[in-house]
Structure formats: structure tokens, C-alpha cells
């Protein structure tokens, strides 16, 4: 999705909820789009230093309500924000357990099909029909491995 499309679609979603794509919301979307993975509020503040943190939270909440942005929580309880999958496409995440950095991981179609089949079997054992999945991989990033 191009950045113009992203902003247009986000504006439509917000309009459905009688909200507007304010300059703060627009810049937030641009920062999230450029980020290599989900971002914490302190990380977002680095790129949006002139925006008061209260405004940042309000913008995130309205974008979350409009389902343009989603909030993830890792096993350590840290909240991170990213664009919804209808914008970015399906992907997974890998988080470094040492420094906490999180990146998006896209896997090829073949591997994604295999993962889907595996998880569908697991769900079926619990009499669930699978509707989606999220995979959060934990590990140690290459920078932390060098220390
Ligand atoms: Zn690390
Ligand atoms: Zn997947």
C-alpha cells in the first residue's frame, strides 16, 4: 500500500468513527510505516519529540479504535504499536530478550502455508476452527550475541 493510499484509507476509517486524520495522527502513521517493527511509546517519542506524550497517547487510542493501528504486548508486558495487518500484510515478530528490540518477520508463502497447517492441526485437537494466528519469536539479536 502506498503512503497516499495508507493515509486515505486511514482517513476513511477515522471518518467512519467521526474522527479526523489530524496532523499528529498523520505523522504518527508515517513514523509507524517507516519503522522496521512495532514501536513502544518511548521509541515513537524519539521521532515525534515535539508532540506532547498525552497527545501521542490520544492519537494512538483513536487510531486503535479505528483499527488502523494495533497494540501488541510481549511476554515481558511491554506494549508496542504497529499498523494493522490489512495495511502491512500478514507477518510475525521477533524480539530480542536482551535489548528488547522487536522486528517484523515476513516468511515465504510456502513456510506460511506449513505454519498455517500445523496450527490448524493444533487448534483442531481443541475443537477450534482456526481464524488466524500471531507468532512472537524470542531470541537474542546479532548485536547482543556479540557482547
Ligand atoms: Zn538485542
Ligand atoms: Zn503467519
Nearest ligand to the C-alpha atom of residue 114: 2
| Residues 105, 82 share a domain | no
Q: What is the mean pLDDT of the chain?
A: 93
Domain boundary among 87, 103, 129: 87
Instruction: Tell me if 25 sits within 8 A of 59, measured CB to CB.
Output: yes
Nearest ligand to the C-alpha atom of residue 120: 2
| Residues 70, 1 share a domain | yes
Domain boundary among 35, 61, 87: 87
- What is the whole-number distance in angstroms between the Cα of residue 122 and the centre of ligand 2? 14
Total domains in the chain come to 2
CATH number where 61 lies: 1.10.10.10
pLDDT at 81: 96
Alpha carbon separation from 66 to 55, 70, 115, 120 (Å, rounded): 17, 10, 29, 29
| Neighbouring residues of the ion ligand 1, judged by CB less than 5 Å | 96, 98-99, 141, 144
| Residues 43, 107 share a domain | no
pLDDT at 14: 95
- What is the whole-number distance in angstroms between the Cα of residue 74 and the centre of ligand 2? 17
Nearest ligand to the C-alpha atom of residue 145: 1
pLDDT at 118: 96
Look up the pTM and report it.
0.86
Weakly modelled stretches of the chain, pLDDT under 50: none
| Full residue range of the structural domain in which residue 117 is found | 90-147
pLDDT at 54: 96
- What is the whole-number distance in angstroms between the Cα of residue 73 and the centre of ligand 1? 18
Nearest ligand to the C-alpha atom of residue 106: 2
| Residues 137, 100 share a domain | yes
- What is the whole-number distance in angstroms between the Cα of residue 66 and the centre of ligand 1? 32
- What is the whole-number distance in angstroms between the Cα of residue 111 and the centre of ligand 2? 9
Closest CA relative to residue 32, chosen from 43, 17, 20:
43
CATH number where 121 lies: 3.30.1490.190
- What is the whole-number distance in angstroms between the Cα of residue 105 and the centre of ligand 2? 9
Amino acid at each position: 500500500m502506498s503512503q497516499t493510499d495508507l493515509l486515505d484509507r486511514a482517513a476513511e476509517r477515522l471518518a467512519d468513527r467521526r474522527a479526523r486524520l489530524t496532523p499528529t495522527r498523520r505523522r504518527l502513521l508515517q513514523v509507524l510505516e517507516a519503522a522496521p517493527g512495532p514501536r513502544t511509546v518511548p521509541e515513537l517519542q524519539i521521532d515525534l519529540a515535539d508532540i506532547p506524550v498525552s497527545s501521542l497517547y490520544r492519537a494512538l487510542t483513536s487510531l486503535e479504535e479505528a483499527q488502523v493501528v494495533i497494540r501488541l504486548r510481549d511476554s515481558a508486558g511491554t506494549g508496542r504499536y504497529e499498523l494493522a495487518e490489512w495495511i502491512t500484510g500478514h507477518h510475525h515478530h521477533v524480539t530480542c530478550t536482551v535489548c528488547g528490540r522487536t522486528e517484523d518477520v515476513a516468511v515465504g508463502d510456502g513456510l506460511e502455508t506449513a505454519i498455517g497447517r500445523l496450527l490448524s492441526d493444533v487448534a483442531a485437537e481443541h475443537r477450534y476452527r482456526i481464524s488466524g494466528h500471531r507468532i512472537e519469536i524470542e531470541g537474542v539479536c546479532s548485536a547482543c550475541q556479540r557482547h
